[in-house]
Copies of this chain bind each other. A is one copy, B any other.
Amino acid sequence: MGESKSVPTAPPGRPNLDFKIEHTDRASGARAGVLTTPRGTARTPAFMTVGTQATVKSLSPRDLREAGVEIVLSNTYHLYLRPGADTVERAGGLARFMGWDGLTLTDSGGFQIFSMTDLTKIKREGVTFKSHLDGSEHFLSPEDAVRIQAKLGADIAMVLDECTGYPLSFDKARQSTDLTIDWARRSREEFLRSDTPRPQAQFGIIQGSTYEALRRRCTEALIDIGFEGYAIGGLSVGEPKSAMFEMVEVSTSGMPPERPRYLMGVGFPQDIVECVERGVDMFDCVMPTRNARNGTVFTSRGKVVVKNAAYADDLTPLDPECSCYTCANFTKAYLRHLFQAGEMLGPRLATLHSVTYFESLMREARKAILEDRFPDWKRSVLERLKSGDGET
């Protein structure tokens, strides 16, 4: 299995995702590539900014472009509940609905169902859950998740998987992995059967908790099923960093090299660069945007807690190395005032910087890969990140 294995291509007549690897760093597994769909391209390694409810909170699509964003992730669970998949479909799909001319990816809804809702009942057929909005009961099967995402119409859809926590016993992890594999098979069958209203690719998700054997088994099973891309799920859920990196290595070593690799829910700049080095192409995480809204922003010198009293009269920008609209025009003193006063412009300007910072990090990583100097670049980034207001 692994690098030599032939994997299924896109379904006939649906050229829904092309992935071209431009270069692999000489001294590491880091890859620079380009994802292409009928609607556009995204360069990799890519950080997908999260737009949960068909909007990256506080930012406009124009802001996203300016920050360098090329692909946005939205949450199926939220969009299914509000405004509903039919409304999004009638508006021409997620990207058109939100006025975004770049690529989009939707998750399956599973993560939110397992983490946000009460009384989740998991059966072989699917998941029963209660809406966090009004308590209404809903049932979601793997097939439903495919059909809903077809209506949402993102460039990339994810299969429904069971999202487990940490720690988890081997037996429970094995049972869960089996369920995830079964659901992945049903999801693919539905995907190939369904009359998708627009071109869409589908990614499988490798689970297996922190168990190498389960990760390997799941990877092999998903490759047998065949997807346009493969994701690594169930990490960054409380396990030690070493375990996370090990599971990423185990997974990527078995993944087909010519297909995109997506590490879900990661993360911190430090973790991203470590996992780019291990051959991951795509990332997503709510942290840069969520933390920014709360006044903690990532900068080239580590995190800055905007509300700190020390910044009350600080007339310097958030990040001296950043040229985003926020850093080019506003002082820490002003941003602190906006947060102290509860003004919406505070979260907005902080988010714009934070997203710009993550995108710049990915561009720099890409450049370092293309120039065969990724490990050196990684070391310098990690060094710089140690300054700032404290632990990131």
Contact = CB atoms under 8 A, between A and B. Distances in A.
A98 interface: yes
A55 B59 CA distance: 17
Nearest to A54: B337
Interface in A43-74: 53-55, 57-62
Interface string A60-96: 1110000000000000001000110001001100000
Contact of A338 (B55, B61, B349): B55
A256 B287 CA distance: 58
Interface stretch (A276-284, A328-336, A354-362): A328-336
B87 A333 contact: yes
A99 interface: yes
Interface residues of A, number: 38
A116 interface: no
A347 interface: yes
B333 A83 contact: yes
Contacts of A83: 312, 333, 336-337, 340-341
A330 B96 CA distance: 9
Contacts of A58: 344-345, 348
Nearest to A90: B313
A343 interface: yes
Contacts of A341: 53, 55, 78, 82-83
Contacts of A336: 83
Nearest to A334: B97
A348 B344 CA distance: 9
A59 B349 CA distance: 10
A329 B99 contact: yes
Nearest to A345: B55
A349 B338 CA distance: 19
A213 interface: no
Contact of A329 (B61, B87, B313, B333): B61
A119 interface: no
B60 A345 contact: yes
Contacts of A325: 60, 62
Contact of A99 (B57, B62, B334, B344): B334
A315 interface: yes
B90 A343 contact: no
Most buried by B among A55, A59, A78, A82: A55
29 contacts: A53-B341, A55-B338, A55-B341, A55-B343, A57-B344, A57-B345, A58-B348, A59-B345, A60-B325, A60-B349, A61-B329, A78-B341, A82-B337, A82-B340, A83-B312, A83-B333, A83-B337, A83-B340, A83-B341, A87-B312, A87-B333, A90-B313, A91-B333, A91-B334, A97-B331, A97-B334, A97-B337, A99-B329, A99-B330
Interface of A: 53-55, 57-62, 78, 82-83, 87, 90-91, 97-99, 312-313, 315, 325, 329-331, 333-334, 336-338, 340-341, 343-345, 347-349
Sorted nearest first, the 5 A-B pairs with minimum C-beta distance are A83-B337, A99-B329, A58-B344, A53-B341, A55-B345
